[in-house]
Every structure is written in structure tokens, then in C-alpha cells.
């Protein structure tokens, strides 16, 4: 086991001092309690559970010696802790955060102070492509411009040629949101690409894309396998993000439709369909409930992959009325998944298979994938 100097204050890694196999067993037992008599299958862990987060956020601040740091907030506090040596964040991302702090110190660029509305550097957002080894960097500022931006970017690119693109994001609001609505491309295309299951995906700063690409590939492959897709099937993928599951399913069915409320993610999904030359897919920017209430599709399979809040009751009832033969529910929150499945059970659905994937080692979270069939 590795040691982290701020683990007791951070709160992000609840189980850092627990052997990994014990973490997996504990997570399985916790999910089993939630599902009661339904048998929970295998929990799929990682070979190397460290540095798996390929999506990293950090907030800038200065310490008492006026040295710049990139950090996260202490648990239940507004105090910041340095996170540039984090054991679950990607190594490249950690190194880039350290370099940004060093350059900012040299150039006397101040961190943004939300209370006083002063300073410049507010956050950094980093995405690392597992397949390509490239990096997308978003520098979030609370000011109107980044002083010495050309020199800043030049030094950053020299130190980290793996940064394929960088954007300057403007966030002047008093908010906990990391990214603001407006951004400019500093260099590159404004996005990077990654690959899952042989498919290529474009990732922009505001795209939803899982933080753990190694486990995500395994999770989605299992979800597609559980669906037992046929060439005659129509597939509906709710909360599709940038189209990862939709496109993975499209190769094994007649048509696949992805629905996502985030219009920017849908724009990426449409591009991803073109990149992968998928002709039998359609994507719609819509609230899940609204789409399902008016849809004319008769899906054979529905995939659910919602945020932690789960699916709305309206969407679940619409799914029940549509009566697909299989529903595959992927969840990052087993508690809301259990709640949602109760609604689906009232329409005659029963759990046939339930497995766990540890996308978040050392934390309290676990991902589940559940197959429900119509009785």
C-alpha cells in the first residue's frame, strides 16, 4: 500500500489504507445488502488500482509562503489541500499541475479569489487519453484574460509535449461549477480522442466520459454482452453521453438511438458516429422523460446509464410501457438503481444478472451493471 500525506484530511480516498482485495469484498457486501435476496455476481477489480483517474480537476491557491499549489477542498471544509501528488489521479495530470504552479510562480500570476473577485488562475481541468497518451488541458480563469498567455502556453508545451490541445475557459460566477460557459482554444483542435472497444471517441472539455478508461472498457463490453443483441434489434441508449454504449451496440443491431440532455455531448456523439462510420445510429439532445413520452420507437433493448440521481419515475414508466425484452441498467449509485428497479418490477421485469465493476478504487463508490428481462 502507498501512503498519501493528506489522505486523512482529503476524504476522497476513504479506503487508502485498506488492502485492495478487502475493499472489493466490502463493496460487494454493501451492494448485496441493498439488493437483498438477489444474488450479486462477480466484482471486477483492477490489476493496478493506482492513478486510474484520467479526468482531473484542481483549484489554485497560495500557501503561507506565497507558493502556488493546485488542490482540492478538504472534506466538509473550504480549506484547500495540495492534490498534485494524488495517488488516484493520472501521473501525467499530476505532473502538469505541478508545472502550471511553477510557471505561475515564475510569472507572478495570482490565483483567483472568489470572495474578492481578484486574481487570475481559478481551476485546471485535465483529460488524458489512455489509448493515445495525449492530454486536453482547460485553464479556467476568473479574470478577463491570462497575463503573458503566449509565454505561459509556450513553457507549458515545452515541458509537456503530450498536451495536444489547451483551452482557456472563463468562469466569473460565484459557483461551485468548475467550467464556465465560454472558452477559447489556445492551441490544438479543442479536443482529444480516445478508444474503447476498437471505437474512437472525441472528448472535449465538457464531454461526459468515464474517469477510468481501463475499467470502462470492461464494463461496457459486459453491458453489451448481457444485452444479447441481435441484428434485428432496435436499441435505445438513455443518458448516452458522447455515444460510447450507443456506438458499441450499433455494430450488433439494426439501429441504435442515443438520448442525452447535454447538447454539447450529443454534438460529440454525432461526430463520433461519423468518425467510426456508423450509419445505423441517431442521437437526440433531450431530457430522457420527455423523449420517452413522445418516442415512436419500439425498442427491443434499452440501456440506462444515468448520473448518481438515477432515472426519473416518468422515464422508467415509459420504458415499462414500451416493454423491451431486455433492459441493461448501468449505475454509479446502487441505491438509486435499487429504487428504479422497483418501478421496473411493477411492469413485469426481473433481475437476471447483476455484476460489479470497481471504477473507483479506494473510494466508497462502485459501478453496477444489471440485466432485467420481461417475465
Q: Tell me: the pLDDT tens digits for 62-73? A: 999 999 999 998
Closest CA to 267 of 330, 211, 203: 203
Q: Do domains 9-48+212-374 and 55-196 have the same CATH topology?
A: no
pLDDT greater than 80 at residue 287: yes
- Report pLDDT for 140: 98
SS3 32: helix
Chain segment 157-189, per-residue pLDDT in tens: 999 999 999 999 999 888 888 999 999 999 999
Share of the chain above pLDDT 70, in %: 100
For residue 36, the model assigns a pLDDT of 95
What is the pLDDT, as a whole number, of residue 77?
A: 79
User: Measuring CA to CA, how many Å separate 307 from each of 134, 208, 260?
Assistant: 27, 10, 11
Where does 9-48+212-374 sit in CATH, by number?
3.40.50.150
Residue 278 has pLDDT above 80, yes or no: yes
How far is Cα 53 from Cα 91, in angstroms, rounded to an integer?
9
Residue 11 has pLDDT above 90, yes or no: no
Q: Which of 10, 101, 332, 370 is catalytic?
A: 332
Instruction: Give the pLDDT band (50/70/90) at residue 10.
Output: confident
* Strand-pair partners of 80: 73
HEC-encoded secondary structure of 300-346: CEEEECCCCCCCCHHHHHHHHHHCCCEEEEEECCHHHHHHHHHHHHC
Which of 277, 272, 276, 252 is CA-nearest to residue 260? 272
Question: Domain locations in the chain?
Answer: 9-48+212-374, 55-196
pLDDT computed for residue 173 by the predictor? 87
Mean pLDDT along residues 356-375: 95
Say what the pTM is: 0.92
Q: What is the CA radius of gyration of the chain?
A: 22
Instruction: State the pLDDT at residue 304.
Output: 97
Give me the mean pLDDT over the 45-59 stretch. Answer: 96
- What pLDDT, on a 0 to 100 scale, did the predictor assign at position 8? 75
The cell numbers describing 56, all together, are: 482531473
Mean pLDDT of all residues belonging to the chain: 94
Model pLDDT for residues 112-135, shown as the tens digit of each residue:
998 888 999 999 999 999 999 999
Between 158 and 297, residue with greater pLDDT: 158
Percent of all residues in the chain with a pLDDT value above 90, rounded to a whole number: 83
Mean pLDDT value across residues 134-151: 96
332 is annotated as an active-site residue: yes
Sorting pLDDT into bands at 50, 70 and 90, what band is 197? confident
Confidence of residue 237 (pLDDT cuts 50, 70, 90): very high
Does pLDDT of 5 surpass 80? no
**For residues 157-177, b (16+ Cβ closer than 10 Å) or e, as one string?**
bebbebbbbbbbbbbeeeeee
**Residue environment code for 296-321, b if the CB has 16+ CB neighbours within 10 A, otherwise e:** ebebbbbbbbbeeebbbeebbbbbbe
Is pLDDT of 7 > 80? Answer: no
Per the document, the length of the chain is 375
CATH fold of the domain at 55-196: OB fold (Dihydrolipoamide Acetyltransferase, E2P) (2.40.50)
> For 330-348, what is each residue's pLDDT tens digit?
999 999 999 999 999 999 9
Amino acid at each position: 500500500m502507498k501512503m498519501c500525506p493528506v489522505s486523512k484530511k482529503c476524504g476522497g480516498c476513504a479506503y487508502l489504507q485498506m488492502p485492495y482485495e478487502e475493499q472489493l469484498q466490502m463493496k460487494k457486501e454493501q451492494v448485496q445488502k441493498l439488493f437483498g435476496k438477489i444474488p450479486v455476481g462477480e466484482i471486477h477489480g483492477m490489476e493496478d488500482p493506482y492513478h486510474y483517474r484520467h479526468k482531473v480537476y484542481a483549484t489554485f491557491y497560495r500557501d503561507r509562503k506565497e507558493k502556488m499549489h493546485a488542490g482540492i477542498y478538504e472534506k466538509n471544509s473550504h480549506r484547500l489541500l495540495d492534490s498534485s501528488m494524488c495517488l488516484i489521479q493520472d501521473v501525467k495530470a499530476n505532473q502538469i499541475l505541478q508545472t502550471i504552479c511553477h510557471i505561475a510562480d515564475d510569472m507572478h500570476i495570482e490565483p483567483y479569489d472568489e470572495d474578492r473577485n481578484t486574481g487570475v488562475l481559478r481551476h485546471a481541468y485535465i483529460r488524458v487519453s489512455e489509448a493515445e497518451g495525449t492530454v486536453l488541458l482547460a485553464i479556467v480563469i476568473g479574470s478577463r484574460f491570462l497575463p503573458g498567455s503566449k509565454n505561459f502556453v509556450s513553457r507549458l508545451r515545452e515541458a509537456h509535449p503530450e498536451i495536444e490541445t489547451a483551452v482557456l475557459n472563463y468562469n466569473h460566477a460565484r459557483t461551485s461549477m468548475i467550467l464556465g460557459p465560454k472558452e477559447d482554444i489556445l492551441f490544438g483542435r479543442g479536443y482529444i480522442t480516445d478508444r474503447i472497444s476498437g471505437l474512437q471517441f472525441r472528448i472535449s472539455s465538457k464531454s461526459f466520459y468515464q474517469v477510468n478508461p481501463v475499467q470502462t472498457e470492461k464494463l461496457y463490453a459486459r453491458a453489451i454482452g448481457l444485452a444479447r443483441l441481435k441484428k434485428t434489434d432496435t436499441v435505445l441508449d438513455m443518458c448516452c453521453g458522447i455515444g460510447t454504449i450507443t456506438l458499441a451496440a450499433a455494430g450488433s443491431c439494426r439501429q441504435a438511438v442515443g438520448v442525452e440532455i447535454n447538447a454539447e455531448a450529443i454534438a460529440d456523439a454525432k461526430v463520433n458516429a461519423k468518425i467510426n462510420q456508423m450509419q445505423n445510429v441517431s442521437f437526440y439532445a433531450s431530457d430522457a422523460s420527455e423523449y420517452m413520452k413522445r418516442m415512436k420507437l419500439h425498442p427491443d433493448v434499452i440501456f440506462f446509464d444515468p448520473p448518481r440521481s438515477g432515472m426519473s419515475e416518468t422515464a422508467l414508466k415509459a420504458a415499462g410501457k414500451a416493454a423491451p425484452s431486455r433492459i441493461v441498467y448501468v449505475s454509479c449509485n446502487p441505491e438509486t438503481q435499487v429504487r428504479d428497479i422497483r418501478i421496473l418490477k411493477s411492469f413485469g421485469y426481473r433481475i437476471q444478472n447483476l455484476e460489479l465493476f470497481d471504477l473507483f478504487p479506494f473510494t466508497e463508490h462502485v459501478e453496477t451493471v444489471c440485466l432485467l428481462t420481461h417475465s
